[in-house]
């Protein structure tokens, strides 16, 4: 059990806000005159998606998808199940998948494959965090917040046993 006072701040609220301004600026520029469909991956992306969406000045729709990766404990097996899907036709649309963290890349590999098969005009990936040292599948991240070292991070949507998602910053549990 980690208590809140044992959380070390890795990326502050201010740093996140600054990076979000930059990423949203890029997106607003890249899709000028077009509309976008933001698809957040539950649950971890909820806070990042919310802060990002507020900065997007395009016609936008928001949907969620839920992907569960099965394995023993914290080790992923590579078997990914979509437990909540997008209830909308995606043909001809600009999709931006919004994810909390790309770790092994296995979840995102499956989610992007699934969404790409639906005839969208474009599919891009926006992730708040990436742990490149852990990658097992090659994944292109079009818009990335921050690279982080191989440490288990919590907060800003990311959980440890469903807790700490509500922290406004990204932290590491020092126990």
Q: Residue 99 pairs with which residues in a beta bridge?
A: 127
130 closest CA partner among 55, 28, 19, 21: 19
Outline where the chain has alpha helix (H): 13-30, 46-55, 106-116
**What is the SS3 assignment for 115?**
helix
* Kind plus residue range of the DSSP H or E element containing 3: none
- Contact window for ligand IMP (CB under 6 A) among 10-18, 89-97, 101-109, 116-124: 101-109
Q: Check residue 69 for interaction with ligand IMP (CB under 6 A).
A: yes
Q: Check residue 158 for interaction with ligand IMP (CB under 6 A).
A: yes
The distance of closest approach from Cβ of residue 130 to ligand IMP in the complex, given in angstroms and rounded to an integer, is: 9
Q: How big is the CA angle at 120 (ends 77 and 108), to the nearest 5 degrees?
A: 20
Question: Mask of contacts with ligand IMP, 118-137, x by CB under 6 A?
Answer: --------------------
Write out the binding residues for ligand IMP, residues 71-100 only, by CB under 6 A. Answer: 76, 99-100
Q: Check residue 171 for interaction with ligand IMP (CB under 6 A).
A: no
**161 a catalytic residue:** no
Q: Which does 40 bind (CB under 5 to 8 A by kind): Mg ion, ligand IMP, none?
A: none
Cis peptide before 43 (omega within 30 of 0): yes
Residues with catalytic function: 103
For ligand IMP, the binding residues (CB under 6 A) are 44, 69, 76, 99-108, 152-154, 158
């Amino acid at each position: 059990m980690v208590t809140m006072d044992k959380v070390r701040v890795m990326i502050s609220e201010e740093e996140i806000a600054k990076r979000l301004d930059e990423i949203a600026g890029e997106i607003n520029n890249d899709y000028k005159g077009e509309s976008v469909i933001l698809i957040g991956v539950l649950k971890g992306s909820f806070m990042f998606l919310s802060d990002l969406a507020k900065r997007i000045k395009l016609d936008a729709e928001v949907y969620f998808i839920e992907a569960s990766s099965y394995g023993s404990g914290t080790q992923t097996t590579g078997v990914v199940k979509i437990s909540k899907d997008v209830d909308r036709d995606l043909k001809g649309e600009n999709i931006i998948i919004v994810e909390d963290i790309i770790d092994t890349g296995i979840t995102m590999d499956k989610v992007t494959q699934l969404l790409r098969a639906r005839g969208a005009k474009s599919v891009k990936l926006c992730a708040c965090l990436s742990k490149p040292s852990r990658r097992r599948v090659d994944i292109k991240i079009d818009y990335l917040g921050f690279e982080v070292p191989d440490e288990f991070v919590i907060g800003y949507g990311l959980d440890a046993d469903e807790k700490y998602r509500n922290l406004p910053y990204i932290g590491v549990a020092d126990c």
